[in-house]
């Protein structure tokens, strides 16, 4: 080995002089590690849209579909809440899907 090869670390691109195949060398490299703490699921672009769709379905069921007599006194609240949450969903769901796709494409480009 030359003096330059001794100075290079394995991450600098120096190859071992043994007769190992490239497949064996690839298996000995450590896997890529995630930097920083794991991502918070509350920051996922689809968290709020899924939550709002769930609330909308719940308000729709309680306001229009249920036959429970105890829910009759809350029927107007559920109908109004369904309308408001459905309007918010019309804005938030497409934006969340678009952000999710952009994040996924950015992750593919980083690899």
**pTM metric for this prediction:** 0.60
Q: Give me the pLDDT at residue 111, please.
A: 81
Residue 82 lies in a domain: yes
Q: Give me the pLDDT at residue 3, please.
A: 52
**Enclosing H/E stretch for 93:** helix 75-110
Q: Which residues of the chain have pLDDT under 70?
A: 1-34, 38
Residue 4 lies in a domain: no
Residue 60 lies in a domain: yes
Contact (Cβ atoms closer than 8 angstroms) between residue 51 and residue 91? no
Of 45, 42, 77, the residue nearest 58 (C-alpha): 77
Parent domain of 83: 41-110
Q: What gap in Å lies between CA 71 and CA 59, rounded to an integer?
A: 11
Contact (Cβ atoms closer than 8 angstroms) between residue 52 and residue 89? yes
Residue 15 lies in a domain: no
Of 53, 79, 54, the residue nearest 64 (C-alpha): 79
Residue 5 lies in a domain: no
Q: Give me the pLDDT at residue 21, please.
A: 54
Contact (Cβ atoms closer than 8 angstroms) between residue 63 and residue 82? yes
Average pLDDT along the chain: 79
Residue 53 lies in a domain: yes
Residue 27 lies in a domain: no
Q: Give me the pLDDT at residue 72, please.
A: 86
Residue 62 lies in a domain: yes
Report the domain count for the chain.
Answer: 1
- 38 secondary structure, DSSP code: P
């Amino acid at each position: 080995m030359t003096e330059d090869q001794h100075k290079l670390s394995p991450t600098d691109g120096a190859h071992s002089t043994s007769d190992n195949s490239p497949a064996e060398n690839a298996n000995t490299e450590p896997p890529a590690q995630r930097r920083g703490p794991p991502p918070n699921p509350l920051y996922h672009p689809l968290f709020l849209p899924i939550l709002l769709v769930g609330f909308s379905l719940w308000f729709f069921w309680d306001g229009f579909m249920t036959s429970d007599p105890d829910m009759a006194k809350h029927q107007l609240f559920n109908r109004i809440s369904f309308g408001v949450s459905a309007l918010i969903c019309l804005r938030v769901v497409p934006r969340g899907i678009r952000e999710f796709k952009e994040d996924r494409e950015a992750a593919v480009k980083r690899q």
